[in-house]
Amino acid sequence: MARYDLLLADADETLLDFSKAEENALLGTAEVCGFSCGKREISVYSAANLACWKQFERGELTLPELRVRRFRDFFERCGIMGDPVRVSHVYTEALGQQGCALAGAAEALTRWEKRVRVLVVTNGISAVQRGRFARSPFPHLAREMVISEEIGIQKPNPGIVFEGMRRAGICDRSRVLFLGDSLSSDMQVAVNAGVDGCWYNPKGIRNTGVPVRYEVRDLDEVDDLL
């Protein structure tokens, strides 16, 4: 008998290659909007974007505010003249075209789905996340994603986990595993919801103190947990 009935999986850097998608989208946006973009600019934008998402997790920014704030901060740090509102629209559309998956994710997902129900639970912009999964090697996941923008609840609020369980028809929290790469978002939401968490930590970074039931370095290791 399987240990779990439901696997709730994060999207970015768990199944999808967000770093590659972000770089591709930013380069395309720079070309359309007419500003220079090299390795430095990509690094600065990535840091500004991550900081804004952390603020979103803590409830300090709304999603509409985040979408513009990250580009305003990026422009200020790089001395770029531009309209952050317009650039945000162009970037959002470009990012939604990026369906690149992490190496081995499609194969791992095929194995997992033979054992458990799999739903994606993600903090993100609906059009972006659905667009990316529709263009990914696993487009069927786009149909039943639980997306923070659509339900008005973001990780680490446990309500987003409970919505995933509701959609899957699962009531027993002991039968749910949450897989993700973020301690502050994915593992904390698992703690808050009272479900087991599996931290995907391929880079071997140090845990900052969030309780974690399992830790894996490779997606293939998840198979033994199911």
What distances in angstroms separate CA 116 from CA 9, 28, 53, one per listed residue? 12, 38, 30
Residues noted as catalytic: 10, 12
Give the residues across from 198 on adjacent strands: 179, 214
Mapping DSSP onto H, E and C, the string for the chain reads CCCCCEEEECCECCCECHHHHHHHHHHHHHHHHCCCCCHHHHHHHHHHHHHHHHHHHCCCCCHHHHHHHHHHHHHHHHCCCCCHHHHHHHHHHHHCCCCCECCCHHHHHHHHCCCCEEEEEECCCHHHHHHHHHCCCCHHHHHHCEEHHHHCCCCCCCHHHHHHHHHHCCCCHHHEEEEECCHHHHHHHHHHHCCEEEEECCCCCCCCCCCCCEEECCHHHHHHHC
Alpha-carbon gap, residue 10 to 175, rounded angstroms: 17
